[in-house]
Structure 1
Amino acid sequence: MSKPFKTVWARDQRPAKASPGLSRDQIVRAALDLLDAEGIDGLSMRKLGAKLSAGATSVYWYVANKDELLELAYDEIWGEMTTPDPALVGWRHCGSAFAHSMRQAMLAHPWAASLIGRMPALGPNALGVTNRMREGFMLAGFEGLEVDYAVGTLTAYVFGMTIPEVSYNAYLEESQPDQEEVMAAITKAAAAYPDMLDRIKATHRLDPRAMREMSFDFGLSSVLDGLEARLVT
């Protein structure tokens, strides 16, 4: 038996209170601060009210529950993504700017990674970004469902590369493993693969953030090359 589908975007926004008090924007901004500092488990209506020096009643005027609050905060993340006009910069530049900015937004707000796939991206920022990307792929020459497939392919690449990076960053922050011990373990485990081990040792000495950025850019160029190749076949 199906269950009702509920989302904050499906109902009319409540008007601001007539008396001086909090605005929805203030509430969402405070929620973002809490989420960035403590993650999803650290967000509660009680903590939010305390941060705002207001009672929970003021918060509940605008949001019915924590899920609605997360939806609003999640859409703010989409508002940080860059989608230049493809008619001015070309579809590839638009797609590249979107992909890099989506990655940066996820790294800046790691809690958002856990919402992907389980929370609808139906807010105005998310829909605006998605629509701009659809415009770009239509400008490139994709038609019909292939427009949506192209958007999905690019987005899936960003998610696939960035979600493990978010998890790994969290692991490093929590565990802070000794890097010499890490390399000793890798050396032992990969002893039967000398060429692979040489590459691991060579890259281990490089700036890991720069390496991940270069890896992301390499894969992104490959994805865009593949999409472009479909247009000429």
Structure 2
Amino acid sequence: MQADEKHPQPPIPSVWTRPRRGKREQPALSREQIVSVALELLDTEGIDALSMRKLGTRLNAGATSLYTYVANKDELIELVVDEVYGEIEIPDPAAGIPWRAAAADCAHSFRAVILNHPWTASVLGELGVTQLGPNVMRLSESMLALFESAGLPAGEADFAVSAVGSYVIGTAVTEAAWLTTLARLGRSEEEWLASLLPTAEEAARDHPQLREQYASLRDKNPRETREEKFDYGLQRVLDGLETRLGQQP
């Protein structure tokens, strides 16, 4: 049912879809300060530790005073996520880097940012209108321009950005969740792998290909293995886009 004048639809709940509240003449806080401290709290204690009360304590302010700047916790997380997106290195068109190398560099930077802020694994894809954040829009605009300059039509450039972004988020979020689990257990990847491999190899005794794969992991650095797997998948995504570019008139 469509909204009418008597029954208008409620606004989309997002920090980006409502007017920013006016500033006090001499504000004790700022939105930027709140976001900075919230990011620090999330990085050190994780998403479950974030509350307006705890954030207010860190800022030496009452939780109610924070609502002058953000309406609720969801809005705060939207702001912090956009702040994180601002750390992604975006290719400079003036640098003349080939489209494929520029896209790969941006994708690797995106992955690194997610792994540097592993709490994002629990919120990316679940938030409101995150695509309206200024840093996300700057990233999207740059990647659209990159794929259009490579030769894709505007509509396909949007699909290409989504394909690369979905691959990065899907892979990096899984990695971040895994690393968070290891940190909670107080174990390194090397320790976990050393304790698991004997059991895995025994379980795979009737599966020669799996057994060979597990055996090959014994002398590998698990972090390097994750990076190799990420780059392999990324290059195959870019292969597909390169093939599509070759089909353009």
TM-score, reference length from structure 1:
0.93
Specify whether residues 70 and 178 from structure 1 end up closer, same or farther in structure 2 by C-alpha distance, changes over 3 A only: closer
Contact 1:86 1:93 in 2 (8 A): no
Gap regions ≥5 residues in structure 2 = 2-8
Specify whether residues 148 and 178 from structure 1 end up closer, same or farther in structure 2 by C-alpha distance, changes over 3 A only: closer
Question: How many Å apart are 1:100 and its aligned residue?
Answer: 0.6
1:127 to 117, 137, 143: 137
- Using the alignment, how far apart are the partners of 2:101 and 2:192 within structure 1? 40
**Residues 1:166 and 2:180 are matched in the alignment:** no
Question: How many Å apart are 1:52 and its aligned residue?
Answer: 0.8
- Using the alignment, how far apart are the partners of 2:93 and 2:214 within structure 1? 39
Matches within 5 A, 1:38-187: 38-86=45-93, 88-119=96-127, 120-121=129-130, 122-175=132-185, 176=187, 179-187=193-201
1:231 is matched with: 245
- Using the alignment, how far apart are the partners of 1:80 and 1:127 within structure 2? 13
Letter in 2 for 1:38: E
2:224 is matched with: 210
Partner SS for 1:89? coil
Question: How many Å apart are 1:174 and its aligned residue?
Answer: 2.3
- Using the alignment, how far apart are the partners of 1:215 and 1:179 within structure 2? 17
Identity of aligned residues (%): 44
Question: How many Å apart are 1:56 and its aligned residue?
Answer: 1.9
Specify whether residues 23 and 6 from structure 1 end up closer, same or farther in structure 2 by C-alpha distance, changes over 3 A only: same
Question: How many Å apart are 1:20 and its aligned residue?
Answer: 4.6
2:233 is matched with: 219
- Using the alignment, how far apart are the partners of 2:26 and 2:92 within structure 1? 41
Contact 2:11 2:17 in 1 (8 A): no
Partner SS for 2:103? helix
**Residues 1:188 and 2:196 are matched in the alignment:** no
Specify whether residues 104 and 25 from structure 1 end up closer, same or farther in structure 2 by C-alpha distance, changes over 3 A only: same
- Using the alignment, how far apart are the partners of 1:181 and 1:9 within structure 2? 47
- Using the alignment, how far apart are the partners of 1:208 and 1:90 within structure 2? 30
Question: How many Å apart are 1:191 and its aligned residue?
Answer: 0.9
- Using the alignment, how far apart are the partners of 1:178 and 1:7 within structure 2? 40
Contact 2:121 2:174 in 1 (8 A): no
- Aligned pairs, how many? 233
Question: How many Å apart are 1:144 and its aligned residue?
Answer: 3.4
> Per-residue CA shift, 1:111-152, capped at 9, x if unaligned?
112222221222000011011000001001111321111011
> Per-residue CA shift, 1:167-218, capped at 9, x if unaligned?
2112222233754431122012211122331222222321111111122112
Gap regions ≥5 residues in structure 1 = none
The CA RMSD over aligned residues, in Å, is 1.8
2:35 to 28, 31, 35: 28
1:5 is matched with: 12
TM-score, reference length from structure 2:
0.87
